[in-house]
Structure 1
Amino acid sequence: MPERSAARALVEAIGRGFEEFEPPAVRDSVDGPLGWPGYDDQRARAAGRSGAEESVLCGRAQVGELPAVLVAFDFGYLGGSVGEAAGARIVAAFDRARELRVPVVSLVASGGSRMQEGICALRQLQEIARACLLARRDGIPHVTVLRNPTTGGMWAALSAGADVVLAEPGAAVAFGGSRVRGPGDTGEAFTAEGKLADGQVDRIVDDADLPAVLADLVRLLHPQRTSPDPAPVPASLAGGEPPATGWEAVQRARAADRPRAAVYLDAYFATRFEIGGDRAGGRDTGMLCGFGEHEGRTVAFAAQTGTANTPAGFRTAARLVRLADQLGLPVLTLVDTPGASNDAAAEHGGVGPAIAELFTAVAEARVPITTLVIGEGGSGGALALAAPGRTWITADGYFAVIAPESAAAILKRDPAEVPDLAGHLRLRPQDLLDLGFVQGIAR
């Protein structure tokens, strides 16, 4: 038998002082609940080869500065499959995390439910999903790491619904394993890289970097870092006074050398971790979302980068706002978009429902949201990210019901009248302050 299992080696590499939880008692019978011929011998051989007593190892450890509950799968034990005993361990681990008020880190490498235990194994997915839900309701963050392979029920019931999804390079990730898929069902769609492109994974992390990345996430998302106070308004990086005319406001907001979201985020946060993807097949690099450390506490952020956002961008921002609300973290939003994408692809992708989802997430949030308009505020695609009653603007920003050029098209005006229409729209920072839309012009 190996000196230590692969799961134990993994948890000891990630956390200090790992203490295994006492496994819950489960029913025991000859060859399992189905009486599967030779099942007891299979388990004994698996234990001898892997050094593991079960396919899952659960316990508590220091991950960086703070404690977390670790759930580690051992693929060497019957392919990391989950039966009654493994399912009970996972559920108990989430229950302990709720008691201890610490995050859960699941390190998954599994082929799914254990065939030799039949429906008794399959129904563990319901128990695990419920344990994840209860932890979510209690504000306990769950970070998962997709290792090779992560397929079947553990992808669907445990990992896919985690708050942050990491993956190791090249990992096979799919609901159906390679042996049960059709012969032509191969390729990137069934890999971690494919899931990243499709917005189902937040980041791919090399093994060497994993301990540090998990330490950062545990620190940023730990329940002890919640705060009822709003995120402070970022300092403006714009130079000069507010524009004299509406058209000047538009031109300044569209200037190529104006400070954009990434510059603001770098100035505001000491460190930050970005999440990406709407978990529904889409990713929009024009919407930066994640968590950062500002003046010693965690603030969630959703920031537009100056592009026309796609449905995936709005859904990702809604995901971020809901997650921050769940974890009790204040939110900072940076508005900068000429408007939502309005081409055929956006319509097929449900841009209207996606914007509605973000409006709803902002309206439902119990945590405070602070908004700074740092550039273009283009109609509903910008307004969906703005906090009612807590919105500020920089001197090089504007906010309008419609772009001046589009206003001219609708009114059948000559293009030469666009600058004049910009004035009528009253979109300058000082106009927005006078109209009560913004609370101030950031300095």
Structure 2
Amino acid sequence: MPERRSARQVVALVADDFTELPHPAREPVPDGPLGWPGYDAARARAAGRTGEDESVICGTARIEGVPVVLAAFEFGYLGGSLGEGTGDRLVAAYVHAREHRLPVVPLIATGGSRMQEGMVALTQLQRVARQSALTRRAGLPQIAVVRDPTTGGGWATLGAGADVILALPGAQIGFAGSRVRPAGADPAAYTARGQLAAGAVDAVVGEEELRAVLGRWLRLLTAPSGEPAPPPRPLGATDPPATGWEAVRRARAHDRPRAGSYLDAYFTERVAISGDRCGGTDDGMLCGFGAHQGRTVAYAAQTGSATRPAGYRTAARLIRLADRLGIPVLTLVDTPGAANDAEAERQGVGAAIAELFGAVAEARTPVTTLVIGEGGSGGALALAAPGGTWATGDSYFSVIAPESAARILKRPPREVPETADRLRLRPQDLAEPGTARTDDQLFPGTGDRRF
């Protein structure tokens, strides 16, 4: 079990400085809105133990030089539970963040809503959810740090509702607290690592790294830029393939440059998001934000495998977040196609692809695409920017794989190479129908051709 720090200790852990915001005034009611016997005495004991008069402290701070609004929960005060006073403070903090255009960083440790205040306490979740939604609409990032424990409505609003979720190692995280879970429930599902595996958090970060990681995220997410991201320079072949089958063979070569190499060469630093927030992750889709030539660019990159439904949903989540924050997007296409096994169908692969098509189509921020390997049908096209797609000499893009096309057309295997030529899937072929681009950067001497 990790050490349970107080609210002020965790603030000191991550912040360069901290100035508490004024507390909203509310006329006290004896034993709270329900007149719960002994409630005033319980609050007095909690205040004596912690030195706090509510379960959250809110204020302005700097994290590695970036100004933010912090909301740190004090678990020692009635289990960090949300009551009416907690809601007042959180609302005021979010309003201050919007008025001053500051990102919000909740440092959460809570057992849920406060029973002694009944439905009054429960409805604070609606107040918090509205403030979070208004802040999201205002284009301000929210980065949550989930501590031990983070359960109930605090997880379902401030935690799971954040743009980026960082969890401390060993933290209990879940909607159900430890005393209300079903008998026999797998305890691993309610841990930071379990939630990471389920796509519910972006990273598990140790306390010693937390300030630096938060600083990196904040620097990247608070640097909007309306300019399109330039396509990366090719790391492999710069001569166009002679035939369609050569293009396919180049794209499938084990030694050609992959997404990781392109991202390493393109960004001076980067941070990753993980998971679709629907229970899934896909290692075949790398998503996050990075610094390129001094400005932030979001990225979604396929790694050469068949893309799973969770991969498409994670990419859609990335593009929507970048769009809200005014950050340009770079996508790298490299997949033989969408996963088509029975499990992928059960997980809604068609709906996931549709979600990504929609995210790209609706994005107001510029999206740039580079095809670096296989461009297999709609599973690849969903990640491609209309009118903003380039292709390298190691790539192809096709309505269908040549082997599948030959089978559908009842052609023998020996005719697969000819079928590849018929499909006109080479990078230079794509310029004619207006599907993508080649230019001097990718193929020296070819000029600029959009395809």
TM-score range (shorter-chain normalised) is: over 0.9
**CA displacement at 1:27 relative to structure 2:** 3.3
**Structure 2: stretches of 5+ with no match in the other structure:** 443-451
Partner of 1:395 in structure 2?
393
Aligned equivalents of 1:143, 1:45: Cα separation in 2? 32
Equivalent pair of 1:17/1:62 in contact (CA under 8 Å): yes
Aligned equivalents of 1:319, 1:95: Cα separation in 2? 25
Equivalent pair of 2:18/2:60 in contact (CA under 8 Å): yes
Partner of 2:447 in structure 1?
none
Where in structure 2 are the equivalents of 1:43-442 lying within 5 Å? 43-222=43-222, 225-441=223-439, 442=441
The one-letter amino acid paired with 2:332 is L
The one-letter amino acid paired with 2:362 is E
Larger displacement relative to structure 2 (235-244 or 321-330): 235-244
The one-letter amino acid paired with 1:256 is H
Aligned equivalents of 2:250, 2:41: Cα separation in 1? 74
The one-letter amino acid paired with 2:99 is E
What SS does the aligned partner of 2:185 have? coil
Partner of 1:37 in structure 2?
37
The one-letter amino acid paired with 1:171 is A
Aligned equivalents of 1:334, 1:403: Cα separation in 2? 19
What SS does the aligned partner of 1:399 have? strand
Aligned equivalents of 1:39, 1:417: Cα separation in 2? 81
Aligned equivalents of 1:176, 1:423: Cα separation in 2? 57
Aligned equivalents of 1:109, 1:130: Cα separation in 2? 20
**CA displacement at 1:61 relative to structure 2:** 0.8
Equivalent pair of 1:26/1:84 in contact (CA under 8 Å): no
Aligned equivalents of 2:26, 2:13: Cα separation in 1? 29
**CA displacement at 1:46 relative to structure 2:** 0.4
Runs of 4+ in 1 over 6 A off after TM superposition: none
**CA displacement at 1:30 relative to structure 2:** 0.7
Alignment root-mean-square deviation, CA:
1.0
Q: Deviations over 1:193-244 (max 9, x none)?
A: 111111001000011111110011111111xx11111011111111341110
The one-letter amino acid paired with 1:103 is P
Aligned equivalents of 1:27, 1:414: Cα separation in 2? 83
What SS does the aligned partner of 1:317 have? helix
Aligned equivalents of 2:437, 2:257: Cα separation in 1? 21
Equivalent pair of 2:241/2:393 in contact (CA under 8 Å): yes
**CA displacement at 1:183 relative to structure 2:** 2.2
Q: Deviations over 1:163-201 (max 9, x none)?
A: 001101111111111111222124211111111111001
Aligned equivalents of 1:290, 1:343: Cα separation in 2? 27
Equivalent pair of 1:70/1:106 in contact (CA under 8 Å): yes
TM-score by length of 1: 0.97
Partner of 2:15 in structure 1?
15
Aligned equivalents of 1:25, 1:309: Cα separation in 2? 53
Equivalent pair of 2:238/2:392 in contact (CA under 8 Å): no
Equivalent pair of 1:243/1:428 in contact (CA under 8 Å): yes
The one-letter amino acid paired with 1:412 is K
Aligned equivalents of 1:160, 1:58: Cα separation in 2? 19
How many residue pairs match? The answer is 437
Equivalent pair of 2:125/2:153 in contact (CA under 8 Å): yes
Aligned equivalents of 1:312, 1:106: Cα separation in 2? 26
Aligned equivalents of 2:65, 2:368: Cα separation in 1? 29
Equivalent pair of 1:81/1:112 in contact (CA under 8 Å): yes
What SS does the aligned partner of 2:217 have? helix
The one-letter amino acid paired with 1:345 is E
Equivalent pair of 1:273/1:290 in contact (CA under 8 Å): yes
**CA displacement at 1:51 relative to structure 2:** 1.8
- Percentage of pairs with the same residue: 64
**Structure 1: stretches of 5+ with no match in the other structure:** none
Aligned equivalents of 1:183, 1:143: Cα separation in 2? 33
Q: Deviations over 1:31-85 (max 9, x none)?
A: 1111111111101110111122211011111101211111100111110001000
**CA displacement at 1:436 relative to structure 2:** 1.6
Aligned equivalents of 1:421, 1:396: Cα separation in 2? 19
Aligned equivalents of 2:408, 2:331: Cα separation in 1? 30
Aligned equivalents of 1:27, 1:426: Cα separation in 2? 74
**CA displacement at 1:435 relative to structure 2:** 2.4
What SS does the aligned partner of 2:358 have? helix
Aligned equivalents of 1:182, 1:354: Cα separation in 2? 31
Aligned equivalents of 1:134, 1:439: Cα separation in 2? 39
